[in-house]
Amino acid sequence: MIDGNVVVCVDVSGSMSYPVTGFRRGQTSVTRCVDVAALMAAAILRQNSRAMVLPFDTEVRDVNLNARDTVMTNSGKLAALCGGGTACSVAIDRIAVSRHPVDLVVLISDNQSWFDATPGHRGTATMQAWERVKKLNRQARLVCLDIAPYTTTQAHERLDILNVGGFSDAVFDIIGTFARGELSAAHWVSEINKVRLDAE
């Protein structure tokens, strides 16, 4: 369960129509990146009816989601929006402009945000928008879930930012742990110490 004021930013741009496995001879999945992103957003909404879902490409897209609907119904609505360019910052910027109170933002994307590229040393447009959110919500945390990991990121990791590459069921546990402020070195040492190693 992911509690609190949660905003899920879902990339529905054209590049998210690519197979989640990438293109591999004989092993290319019919499941697209947008399908995984939409399912995850719908699952979070199902668990937390107060969660806000912001689909985006180069702008935030309008969509009518009901937390009481099935995960498949809501994910289908999100996946149907797929197309267009990518500006990962627009959803984060919407949160800042609206002054919406937020504890956790989950940005689900393939991280290919060329539309709002900001060359130089000021950081990405996403990072600039996140700093504006943090001025209003000092406790807020950001998870950047990169469905198809590349070598770049929209927001470099620090105490309030977590980057996750790829997807499995374990992602929900990781996000929940991070949201509670438990994702630290001490936490992982404790988890490792719980593992029982049987002597051969």
Instruction: Give the residue with greater pLDDT, 157 vs 78.
Output: 78
pLDDT at 190 > cutoff 80:
no
Count of C-beta atoms within a 10 Å radius of residue 130: 25
124-150 tens-digit pLDDT: 889 999 999 999 999 999 999 888 766
Per the structure block, which two tokens stand in for 53?
Answer: 């879902």
pLDDT at 114 > cutoff 60:
no
Compute the distance between CA of residue 61 and CA of residue 49 in angstroms, rounded to an integer: 20
Contacts of 165 (CB under 8 A, 6+ apart): 146, 149
In three-state form (DSSP H/G/I as H, E/B as E, the rest C), the secondary structure along 109-171 is ECCCCCCCCCCCCCCCHHHHHHHHHHHHCCCCEEEEEECCCCCCCCCCCECCEEEEECCCCHH
pLDDT of residue 28: 59
What pTM value is reported for the model? 0.83
Mean pLDDT to the nearest integer, 27-38? 80
Average pLDDT taken over every residue of the chain: 83
Instruction: Give the residue with greater pLDDT, 200 vs 27.
Output: 27
101-111 tens-digit pLDDT: 999 999 998 86
Kind of pairing between the strands at 161-165 and 141-146: parallel
Mean pLDDT to the nearest integer, 71-99? 93
List the domains of the chain with CATH numbers: 6-194 (3.40.50.410)
pLDDT of residue 25: 65
42-59 tens-digit pLDDT: 999 999 999 999 999 999
